[in-house]
Structure 1
């Protein structure tokens, strides 16, 4: 297999508006990012804030039900019970599913087979979790990184082994030369291809043409979240957020152990020891 920098025309069949990688940084004033652009964050931050949001939502719903109880009592008994059971059922299902996500992240065992073919970044709770995180001083990008860490773990436990030619690796153009060289060495070691893409439109076309059974995507947190939301997680994705010591869209780099482990996971090989722990936000 050969490693190639892909340059293709936009497909006329794609109806999603074109989006270049880096568009999510429009308006960036050039300020230095926190921790010099290394925003690797524990998945437990997202899980903690999401749990807080769900508890608050559950309390709000039951408070509303208590306030309208006199009106509900005016309904026929069967209708009153149907409303109460429906509300209880929906809340119980949502909380149970999230509890199973937490249990999966904590144990590494698959309690979430229903998440196969889905991505946690598509959850409607994300905007509320970001707001909760900001209250405690975590940036949107920090929370996004934590969300992607959770998504990677859910993908890993649900993923079966695939063949080398069924794996699609998507890289941004902003990686520095040393990182590109290291990626070439790693992908050559496992005889897999990578493609350097200029934008989301190109990535979507590669997905259409290659029809992969697994994807490794490298970009900033903003582009990774936008990409997952664009394609609706049609295939399993391991998202690797780049590190940006010089700011976004130039001379970025990644943790190569994370890249190699993503490849090994898809190919059914034992994972390597992680070089360093996830950065924890104090």
Structure 2
């Protein structure tokens, strides 16, 4: 959610989970209705046909309810229970559009739903407990994270930063040195996709607004993406900031720490 100064508060996964449960009930209800309405007509075709269709409807409803329950448990426990990667596919490709439609019908703010989706996605990615080597992780930043009037543009090479400390680039350079990860700055979605194709990471940590993160997570699947929302004290796409600690915390959970070389022969 965004306040009047443009800063973002921590996203709440429970909004997406609540909408997901509500959407599940709608799907189950529509499925049941699709069976019940032609029920008498099916009996005319064959006496057992209504029972067969009823079993199929019950099975589909059970799968929907079970899938929703597994997503809730995975998010709550932070553990990869069953089929987390497949569940990410279901959430990203199918549930998100339906949930956005339901949320719009309920008059909910679109960015609030997206924030909750991003938090849900992050939980699913981290719950897989996948450890990735530093050279296979890409940290992707928007160009607006750098001061608008800075004469040294770091797009393409963040190491050009002169470390003046006026924006968050200095702290991000420090993160890159600490974890030995590749950090790139992209001016838009097209360039971001180009960078991902060229560098071929196994995991992406992206900083952006709700809209760009949501579309990026969808476009990159099955590549796991952890999204970190930026803060926008001066409005969108202008002198934005990011909480360096959130990036540090996220990387610490997914990076594969190399064992120190033995000092003995």
Please list every run of 5 or more consecutive structure 1 residues that lacks an aligned counterpart in the other structure: 1-31, 270-282
Distance 1:39 1:135 in 2: 24
Cα pair 1:218 1:242 within 8 Å, conserved:
yes
Matches within 5 A, 1:79-228: 79-115=49-85, 118-119=88-89, 122-134=92-104, 138-177=108-147, 178-228=167-217
Deviations 1:82-101 (A, max 9, x none): 42222222221122111101
Length-normalised TM-score, structure 1: 0.76
- Divergent runs of 4+, >4 A: 32-35, 134-137
Could you say if the C-alpha distance between residues 120 and 72 of structure 1 is closer, same or farther in structure 2, counting changes exceeding 3 Å?
Answer: closer
Is 1:239 the counterpart of 2:213? The answer is no
**8 A Cα contact 1:218 1:224, kept in partner:** yes
Task: Point out the more displaced range, 46-55 or 106-115.
Answer: 106-115
- Determine which structure has more spread, i.e. the larger CA radius of gyration: 2
Q: Which residue does 2:151 correspond to in 1? A: none
Distance change >3 Å, CA 100–CA 146, structure 1 → 2: same
Q: In 2, distance between residues paired with 1:234 and 1:63?
A: 34
Give the CA deviation at 1:136. 5.3
On the 8 A contact 1:167/1:266 being kept in 2, the answer is: no
Assess, with a 3 A threshold, how the Cα gap between structure 1 residues 35 and 46 changes in structure 2: closer, same or farther: farther
**What's the counterpart of residue 162 of structure 2?**
none
Query: What displacement does 1:55 show?
Result: 1.1
Gaps of 5+ in 2: 148-166, 258-265
Q: 1:118 to 1:130 in 2, by over 3 A?
A: closer
